[in-house]
Amino acid sequence: MIQQTINIAGIMEDSIVDGPGLRTAIFAQGCPRRCEGCHNPESWAFGTGTDMTVQDLFWRVKKNPLVRGVTFSGGEPFSQAEPFTELAKLLKANGYEVASYTGYTFEELLENGTPAQKQLLAALDILVDGEFVLAQRNLDLRFRGSENQRILDVPQSLAQGRAVWCTAARWVGERQHGMRPRGTRTLAAHLMRARLAFRKGQFCVRSAKLPFCAPERSAEGNRKASAQHKASGVSQRLTALPAASAALRVKILFAIIGTFITRPVKE
C-alpha cells in the first residue's frame, strides 16, 4: 500500500503556544486564505514544502514521551485533508489529543466542505476556526490570534449540528464563569511574541547599544537596519536565532510560569 504524504512547512516538536501542555505542532504547506498579518506567510505557496509520510510524522510525534497533544496548523491543513485525516486517526488511536487550526469556519466545513474535509473534521478533538483578522487581533486571547476565531469542541459540535465552544479550562480558561487564570493576559502576550520570534527564517539584530531582538522584522528589514547601524558607527552583528538552546530555555521558562497561574481570579 502506498503511504500518503503531507507537504509540510515545518514541525515544532515542543510547542506551548499551539494548545495546552507540551505539544507537537505540524505546519501544512499551502494556504488559499493569505490573511493580512499572517505570521506564517512562507507557508502560503502550495507544494514548496517538505514531503513527509504520515507514518514518519507519527514517529516524530511519538519519539517525545512528554507530548500528549498534536496541533495541525499552517498553512491550511484542510487543503490536504485526506492525509491529515489519516494522521489524525493514527494519533487518536494512540491516545493523543488532536487539534487543528483552519481559516474555514465550522459552518463552512459542515455545509460546503468536501467529503475529505468533513472526514478530517470528524477526526479532530478541537477546532480553532476562522481566518485571522488583523483588525481584531488580540494578544490576550488564549491560543487564538483574533477575536473572531473560536475554540470548538468538535464531537459536541457535530453531535448538535452547530458550533459548540470548548469549555475545558485548559483550552479556554475560566471564560464560562467570567473569570480568567491569574496572569493569563501577560503570559499570552509573551507567548505570542515568543511564537513570532521562533518562526523559521526570522532573525535578530543584536548589539551593545541595541540588545533586544526584533522578531517580527523580516530578513530584508534586518539587512536595511544593519546598513543603517553600520553607517551610524554602532557596533552590531546580524545573527540567526539559535536553533535550540536559547529557544528551548525560553519555552521551558514559559512552561514553568504556566504552572503558577492556574488559580482563577475574578475580573
pLDDT value, residue 254: 60
- 199-238: per-residue pLDDT in tens? 444 433 333 333 333 333 345 554 554 555 455 444 333 3
CA distance 96 to 164: 21
pLDDT value, residue 193: 52
Q: Where are the alpha helices (DSSP H) in the chain?
A: 54-62, 81-93, 106-112, 115-122, 154-160, 169-172, 184-197, 219-232, 245-258
Pairing between β-strand 150-153 and β-strand 236-240 as defined by DSSP bridges = unpaired
Contacts of 256 (CB under 8 A, 6+ apart): none
pLDDT value, residue 44: 94
- 123-134: per-residue pLDDT in tens? 999 999 999 999
pLDDT value, residue 247: 58
pLDDT over 60 (residue 96): yes
> pLDDT confidence of 173, banded at 50, 70, 90?
confident
Scan for cell 494578544, then name that residue. 139
pLDDT over 50 (residue 25): yes
pLDDT value, residue 263: 38
pLDDT over 80 (residue 255): no
**Amino acid (1-letter code) at residue 240:** A
CA distance 132 to 36: 8
pLDDT over 70 (residue 106): yes
**Arithmetic mean of pLDDT, 157-169:** 97
Name the maximum alpha-carbon separation found in the chain: 65
Looking at per-residue pLDDT, the higher value among 124 and 197 belongs to 124
User: Global pTM?
Assistant: 0.69
What would the DSSP string read from start to end of 200-234?
Answer: TT-EEEEESS--S--TTS-HHHHHHHHHHHHHHT-
Cell of residue 141, nine digits:
486571547
pLDDT value, residue 3: 82
What is the chain's mean pLDDT, rounded?
78
Q: Measured in Å, how far apart are the chain's first and last C-alpha atoms?
A: 56
DSSP 8-state assignment for residue 165 = B
Q: pLDDT above 90 covers what percent of the chain?
A: 61
Beta partners for residue 7, in sequence order: 51
pLDDT value, residue 39: 83
CB 168 within 8 Å of CB 151: no
Scan for cell 459548540, then name that residue. 164
